């Protein structure tokens, strides 16, 4: 008995070390991102809201816009995150998520009176805005803990967020089935909040960092393999669900759904074994063997220089906006970054890339119907977009980091390649050449959209420093509603309606007819997506110009301040 007790006492410091380690912090950040994907399941629960609460199309349009507004106001979340501890930010995110989705679930299930449209808009905006707290804290803390592998870190975390929509959907189907009233909304309310509260004190900046391990990239590759396995499993599962055997018994279907949920949970916990292994290596080689020598060689911090640095840091944020600005890679103030030419290039890239990709996502179902694809194929392509999005986010992080490390190539080079691929995918929609065009285009555009998200965030971190990462990370989101309005509403929907109107006799044109116009044929999106392809091509050229502009910076050692 005494031996067991002594073993537990000796084991406790190691467990405490694991809980405080940076690998555990990274794993916790991944789990937080996995729970933060409620923004990707809006098309599913919006149908429940519409049919149960009987909102008209105008009301649903307002609710959809409030969802986008909640996502795009993340810059304010970023400013708040810079002023409060990480645990408080995760707590606020959990409270907002629960405060937005839980009343929505109560309304859909009839437990509270039917909310007015503006009330539902408020609930959805609060719920979607909560994600900005969780993902900002997860990404910022992980980048600070692993600054020399930021591309890989951002890719893995953004990839986990991309997979989260499919994971949440599988949890809902496994627990409630396809016909559960409000089941998805309850999962959206409880799962993200529970994960954020569980890891509230784990996701943070590791102040007493032991330095960079020589095998960091190998460990991240192991994380990558685990996520690939999870993505493949989800992809196969979703395909089998869409083409399931109809004569399967109800009991067998229930057992299958439960088994799928258990496999997903197991795959999510497998990387924890990797965390234990790496923290055990650090415990043995650094904490136990080298810590005394490291303490003897620890440099003494000059308090006077630190005070002078702090005094400089609290100088006016309006100073040195246009003159005497920091060099690329050094910490910029928020105004210095926003008003810089480099930020203008980044916003232009988001215009040419995000704008057309968001439009394709919004028009995914009408495109399939216009090209006369079977509804089952369309329904299978929509959830698979999250898988292609995941691959783009992860691969762009790893590949761009490899190009940067081996050949000193700017991430803008890969951005140009992605935009050229996106141009080709958009042309496939404008000029479909085979029966499989719709599926191939969804793969290309899902992959390129995910890759751009990772690359733009990495470029922002590298060019403007990490001091205000939380705020700058959300800057580009501010213009997403504008891109959606210009490209989706004013361009694509307008040209779609014009093409559909050609099939209606002039004598029958009235307000009700115009409202319900539908277009069938390859010509429906030809004009709009040709224009979007041209814009993506212009974006590729702009990205090449940006690569030339920042070539000298990337030819140097951009990680020298972290060595």
Q: Which residues contact 128 (CB under 8 A, 6 or more apart)?
A: 38, 39, 42, 67, 68, 70, 71, 100
Token pair of 539, please? 């974006």
Give every CB contact of residue 91 below 8 A, 6+ residues apart in sequence.
196, 197, 200
Domain 325-505+514-563: which topology?
A: Growth Hormone; Chain: A; (1.20.1250)
Condensed to tens digits (0 to 9), the pLDDT of residues 439-468 reads 899 999 999 999 999 999 999 988 998 788
- CATH entry 1.20.1250.20 includes domain 13-205+213-286: yes
Is the pLDDT at 301 greater than 60? The verdict is no
255 versus 143: which is more confidently predicted? 143
pLDDT tops 90 at residue 317: no
**Residues with Cβ within 8 Å of residue 519, at least 6 apart in sequence:** 370, 496, 499, 500, 503
Higher pLDDT: 89 or 489? It is: 89
CB 517 within 8 A of CB 385: no
Positions of CATH 1.20.1250.20 in the chain = 13-205+213-286, 325-505+514-563
- Give ∠ CA 430-412-345 in degrees, rounded to 5: 85
Position 321 scores a pLDDT of: 64
Kindly tell me if the per-residue pLDDT of 168 is higher than 70: yes
> What is the DSSP annotation of 276-316?
HHHHHHHIIIIIITTHHHHHHTPPPP-HHHHHHHHHHHTS-
Distance of CA 530 to the CA centre of its chain: 27
Rg (the chain; Cα; Å):
25
Report how far apart, in Å, the C-alpha atoms of 506 and of each of 502, 503, 512 are: 9, 9, 14
Nearest to 64, CA basis, from 109, 124, 112: 124
Q: What is the dihedral of CA 417, 421, 424, 430, to 10 degrees?
A: -120
- The residue among 333, 385, 380 whose CA lies nearest residue 362 is 385
Q: Taking 60 as the threshold, does the pLDDT of residue 313 lie above it?
A: no
Average pLDDT over residues 109-129: 92
User: Does the pLDDT of residue 536 top 90, yes or no?
Assistant: yes
The secondary structure of residue 50, as a DSSP letter, is: H
Instruction: Find the mean pLDDT for residues 152-160.
Output: 93
Residue-wise pLDDT for 478-508, tens only, equals 777 777 788 888 899 889 888 888 766 654 5
| 359, two tokens | 């439009």
**Pairwise pLDDT comparison (541 vs 168), residue with the higher score:** 541
Helices 183-198 and 22-34, axial angle in degrees (round to 10):
170
Measured between alpha carbons, how far is 514 from 497 in angstroms, rounded to an integer? 8
Using one digit for the tens of pLDDT, what is the confidence trace for 231-290?
999 888 887 776 654 445 555 566 677 788 889 999 999 999 999 999 888 888 765 555
């Amino acid at each position: 008995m005494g031996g067991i007790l002594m073993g537990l006492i000796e084991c406790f410091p190691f467990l405490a070390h694991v809980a405080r380690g940076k690998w555990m912090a990274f794993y916790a950040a991944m789990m937080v991102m996995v729970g933060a994907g409620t923004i990707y399941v809006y098309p599913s629960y919006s149908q429940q809201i519409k049919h149960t609460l009987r909102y008209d199309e105008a009301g649903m349009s307002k609710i959809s816009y409030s969802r986008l507004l909640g996502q795009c106001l993340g810059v304010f979340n970023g400013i708040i995150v810079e002023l409060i501890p990480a645990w408080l930010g995760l707590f606020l995110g959990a409270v907002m998520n629960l405060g937005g989705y839980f009343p929505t679930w109560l309304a859909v299930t009839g437990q509270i009176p039917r909310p007015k449209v503006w009330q539902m808009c408020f609930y959805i905006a609060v719920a979607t805005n909560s994600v900005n707290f969780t993902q900002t804290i997860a990404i910022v803390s992980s980048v600070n803990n692993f600054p020399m592998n930021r591309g890989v870190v951002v890719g893995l975390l953004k990839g986990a967020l991309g997979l989260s929509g499919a994971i949440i959907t599988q949890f809902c189907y496994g627990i409630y089935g396809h016909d559960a009233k409000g089941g998805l909304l309850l999962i959206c309310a409880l799962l993200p909040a529970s994960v954020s509260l569980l890891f509230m004190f784990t996701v943070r900046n590791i102040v007493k960092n032991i330095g960079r391990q020589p095998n960091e990239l190998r460990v991240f590759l192991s994380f990558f393999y685990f996520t690939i396995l999870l993505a493949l499993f989800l992809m196969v599962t979703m395909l089998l669900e869409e083409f399931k055997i109809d004569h399967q018994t109800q009991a067998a279907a229930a057992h299958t759904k439960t088994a799928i949920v258990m496999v997903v949970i197991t795959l999510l916990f497998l990387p924890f074994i990797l965390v234990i292994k790496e923290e055990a290596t650090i415990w043995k080689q650094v904490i136990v063997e080298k810590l005394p020598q490291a303490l003897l060689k620890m440099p003494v911090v000059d308090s006077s220089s630190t005070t002078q640095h702090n005094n400089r840091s609290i100088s006016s944020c309006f100073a040195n906006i246009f003159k005497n600005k920091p060099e690329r890679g050094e910490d910029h103030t928020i105004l210095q970054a926003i008003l810089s030419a480099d930020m203008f290039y980044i916003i232009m890239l988001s215009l040419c890339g995000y704008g057309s990709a968001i439009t394709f996502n919004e028009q995914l179902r009408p495109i399939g119907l216009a090209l006369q694809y079977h509804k089952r194929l369309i329904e299978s392509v929509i959830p698979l977009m999250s898988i292609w999005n995941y691959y783009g986010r992860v691969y762009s992080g790893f590949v761009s980091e490899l190009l940067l490390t081996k050949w000193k190539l700017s991430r803008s080079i890969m951005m140009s390649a992605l935009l050229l691929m996106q141009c080709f995918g958009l042309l496939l929609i404008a000029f479909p050449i085979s029966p499989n065009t719709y599926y191939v285009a969804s793969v290309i555009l899902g992959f390129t959209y995910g890759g751009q998200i990772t690359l733009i965030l990495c470029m922002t971190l590298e060019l403007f420093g990490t001091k205000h990462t939380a705020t700058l990370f959300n800057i580009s989101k501010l213009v997403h509603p504008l891109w959606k309005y210009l490209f989706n509403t004013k361009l694509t929907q307008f040209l779609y309606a014009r093409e559909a109107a050609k099939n209606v006799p002039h004598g029958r044109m009235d307000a009700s007819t115009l409202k319900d116009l539908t277009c069938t044929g390859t010509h429906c999106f030809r004009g709009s997506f040709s224009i979007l392809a041209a814009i993506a091509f212009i974006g590729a050229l702009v990205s090449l110009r940006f690569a030339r502009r920042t070539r000298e910076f990337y030819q140097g050692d951009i990680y020298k301040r972290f060595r």
